[in-house]
Amino acid sequence: MGTGAAMTLRVVADKDTGVAVVTLDRPERLNAIDLETAAELAAVWSALRRDDSVRAVVLTGAGGRAFCTGIDRGVDVPQPTSPYMADDPLLTVGPKSNDLWKPVVCAVNGMACGGAFYLLGESEFVVADSTATFFDPHTTYGMVSAYESVLMAQRMPYGEAARMALMGTAERISARRAYEVGLVSEVTAPGEALAAATRCAAVIAGCPTEAVQGTVRALWAAKEAARTAGYAQAPHLIALGNLPGERQAELFGERSREHRLR
């Protein structure tokens, strides 16, 4: 495809069906996103905008243990001294943030947490296998869940989004519960989410392109104003509420491995 994303992403396009499968390929890091992967994601979405043979996209994660666990905690993200100019490398990893209006379906197996919600929140819908779990670790580590909470509040009832964000690592939402509250549109047998998502994408890719992309724009427009307003608050809330990085690291090191699955 000419995206240059050979290191941490795999992109396989089926010219017959019009579906491209984009795979986060860092299973040894639970598909966490480092700066290279963030740049590659942006490059892939940009390339897909210009590839007329691709009419729908499936996004998934390699390895079985996780779809994505957000930002790689080993990554150093240099910040300007001003809280008005905080840099968040995940703000540009999603398809909508890169002006891609072709439909994106996420296929989730294993863990999806934290910064994974940037990707889930900018997809059209989510298919998960029964092993999938969803949680937001921010508060446990002394961090404000800002952008993630805005996106999940548009995907789930307020009480469910609030509970997930506030309970941190103490709870995980099962695939079944995620389906019940609307975060997930279909639950499959273990290992079957990718196939199910690809079937859906192939159906969508078979419809007239202009109608599909116009529908995606209309759906996004229905919630874009609220998302923009929420995002405008996020940098200041993060600057005010996040603990210093050293203390975050301490809390991460002290984290409990125990959690409740609901």
**Tens-digit pLDDT profile for residues 202-211:** 999 999 999 9
Asked if the 1-76+89-189+208-262 domain carries CATH number 3.90.226.10, the reply is: yes
Confidence of residue 53 (pLDDT cuts 50, 70, 90): very high
Q: What is residue 192's predicted lDDT score, i.e. its pLDDT?
A: 98
Q: What is residue 83's predicted lDDT score, i.e. its pLDDT?
A: 67
Confidence of residue 4 (pLDDT cuts 50, 70, 90): very low
Residue 5 has pLDDT above 60, yes or no: no
Residue 60 has pLDDT above 50, yes or no: yes
Confidence of residue 73 (pLDDT cuts 50, 70, 90): confident
Mean pLDDT comparison of 81-90, 135-144, 246-255, highest-scoring range? 135-144
Residue 179 has pLDDT above 50, yes or no: yes
Residue 89 has pLDDT above 90, yes or no: no
Pairing, β 171-174 against β 133-135:
antiparallel
What is the spatial distance between Cα 258 and Cα 204, in angstroms, rounded to a whole number?
40
CA distances from 125 to 103, 169, 197 (A): 9, 24, 9
Q: What is residue 6's predicted lDDT score, i.e. its pLDDT?
A: 46
Rounded to an integer, what is the distance from CA 49 to the centroid of its chain? 19
Per the structure block, which two tokens stand in for 2? 């000419």
Residue 24 has pLDDT above 70, yes or no: yes
Residue 257 has pLDDT above 90, yes or no: no
138: Cβ contacts below 8 Å, ≥ 6 apart: 114, 144, 145, 148, 165, 168
Percent of the chain with pLDDT over 70: 97
pLDDT digits (tens, 9 = 90+) for 217-243: 999 999 999 999 999 999 889 888 988
Confidence of residue 172 (pLDDT cuts 50, 70, 90): very high
Residue 45 has pLDDT above 90, yes or no: yes
Higher pLDDT, 156 or 83: 156
Domain ranges of the chain: 1-76+89-189+208-262
* Stated length of the chain: 262
What is the spatial distance between Cα 107 and Cα 198, in angstroms, rounded to a whole number?
8
Tally: H helices and E strands in the chain:
8, 11
Got the DSSP string for 142-174?
A: T----HHHHHHHTTS-HHHHHHHHHHGGGEEEE
**Region of poorest pLDDT, from 5-9, 33-37, 216-220, 233-237:** 5-9
Strand, helix or coil at 249? helix
Q: What residue spans of the chain are helical by DSSP H?
A: 35-49, 116-121, 147-153, 158-167, 175-181, 193-205, 209-241, 245-253
Question: In what order do the strands lie in the sheet containing 104-108?
Answer: 9-14, 19-24, 56-61, 104-108, 125-129, 186-188
